[in-house]
A = this chain, B = another copy of it.
Amino acid sequence: MSDEVKFDWHRQDRTGIPEVVFAEGKTVGQIVSILDGAAERNRSLLITRLSPELCHVVRQQVEAGFDYDEMSRTAIFGAPERSSADPAQIGSVGIVCAGSSDLAVAREAQRSLDYFGVHNALHADVGVAGLWRLLDIADDLKQHSVLIAVAGMEGALFSVVAGLVPGLVIAVPTSVGYGVATGGQAALTSALASCAPGIVCVNIDNGFGAAAAARKVLLNGAIG
């Protein structure tokens, strides 16, 4: 493994979340070097922000295969991690997604939860402009310990969901939008300024971060 990368193989022991590989900005050599390290240690790995082009090149240079999902740009190398906790007891995560354009980010959250071995359910295209879509699934949403709400544009979904359910709402603003919504700033400020208590927020497009936080909530501070 090259000197350029000091992979944090012990992060899971320390913080309960295994280090993952954020592929954007990394060279092929750096990614391959990490995957080789994982193979040596017989460890599984989650890779995020892996473009189809980069995935194609990486696949040719590592021996072991991996499971790639193009919409979310995630790859799971090896068997998904298995929490020592019983999934049935620790609760589950609901994911709601405002528009079909936000699906890529919602899927990144879902794939990360899958990798963590956390039960989850994704409801797509339930923006507040058609409130009935959200009210229809309200009873289901109340069953989850944590809700991950994914929305771009004006992000009104965050406040409405948080007013309906008892679980913690983790808002993931997305960079979907144009004009004043460009880059996700409008959705981000909606999440932070929401007057519904019990909402917390992660960086724009950070589906993985929301999943990692959700896992910590379910494990309640115990190392899984």
- Interface residues, chain A, CB within 8 Å of chain B? 3-8, 10-11, 14-17, 19-20, 22, 24-27, 30, 90-91, 98-101, 103, 124-133, 144-146, 153-156, 158-160, 162-168, 170, 173, 175-206, 208-209, 212-213, 215-223
Q: Can you name the residue of chain B whose Cβ is closest to the Cβ of A218?
A: B220
Q: From residue A170, how far is it (CB to closest CB) to chain B in Å? A: 6
Q: Which residues of B contact A129 (CB under 8 A)?
A: 8, 11, 159, 162-163, 194-197
A160 touches B167 (CB 8 A): no
A188 touches which of B131, B133, B180 (Cβ 8 Å): B180
Q: Which residues of B contact A103 (CB under 8 A)?
A: 4
Top 7 nearest A-B pairs (CB, nearest first) are A179-B204, A25-B101, A145-B221, A200-B200, A167-B221, A129-B196, A181-B193
- Report the Cα distance A101→B22, complex, angstroms: 10
Give me 18 A-to-B residue pairs in the complex whose CB atoms sit less than 8 angstroms apart, sorted by A's number: A4-B125, A6-B130, A8-B129, A8-B133, A15-B166, A16-B166, A16-B198, A24-B178, A25-B101, A30-B100, A98-B195, A129-B194, A131-B163, A179-B184, A179-B188, A179-B205, A180-B204, A181-B189
Q: Which residues of B contact A98 (CB under 8 A)?
A: 195
- Report the Cα distance A16→B162, complex, angstroms: 11
With contact pairs A176-B25, A178-B203 given, residues A195 and B163 touching in the complex (Cβ less than 8 Å): no
